[in-house]
Amino acid sequence: MTGNRDDVVRPWSYLSAQALHYLFFAIRGQQFLRRHATLGGRHWPAFGVPGAGVALTIDDGPHPEWTPLMLDLLDRHQVRATFFLIGGRVRERPDLARRIVAAGHTLGNHSMSHPQPFAALSRQRMRDEISRTQSEIEDATGVSTRLFRAPGGNWSRSVLATTADLGLTPVDWTVNPSDWRSPGVPRITRSLSRGRAGQVLLCHDGGGDRSQTVEALETVLPRLLGRGLRFVTPVDGR
Residue 82 within any structural domain of the chain = yes
Q: What pTM value is reported for the model?
A: 0.94
Residues with Cβ within 8 Å of residue 208, at least 6 apart in sequence:
180, 182
Give the H or E element holding residue 192: helix 185-193
CATH of the domain at 172: 3.20.20.370
User: The domain containing residue 209 runs over which residues?
Assistant: 5-231
Q: Is residue 238 part of a domain?
A: no
Length in residues, the chain: 238
- For residue 233, which of 12, 35, 33, 39 has the smallest C-alpha distance? 39
Mean pLDDT of the chain: 93
In three-state form (DSSP H/G/I as H, E/B as E, the rest C), the secondary structure along 150-177 is CHHHCCCHHHHHHHHHCCCEEECCCECC
Domain assignment present for 204: yes
pLDDT in the model for residue 192 = 98
- Work out the average pLDDT over 181-202: 97
Reported as a pLDDT band with limits 50, 70 and 90, residue 174 is very high
In a domain, 101, yes or no: yes
By annotation, the residues acting in catalysis are 59, 204
pLDDT: is 144 or 238 the higher one?
144
What phi and psi, each to the nearest 5 degrees, are found at residue 112? -80, -40
Q: For residue 38, what pLDDT is reported? A: 94
Q: What's the number of domains the chain is made of?
A: 1
| pLDDT value of residue 131 | 98
Task: Please name which of 132, 137, 45 lies closest in space to residue 90, comparing C-alpha atoms.
Answer: 137
- Is the separation of the CB atoms in 57 and 81 below 8 Å? yes
CA-nearest of 237, 165, 172, 200 to 40 is 172
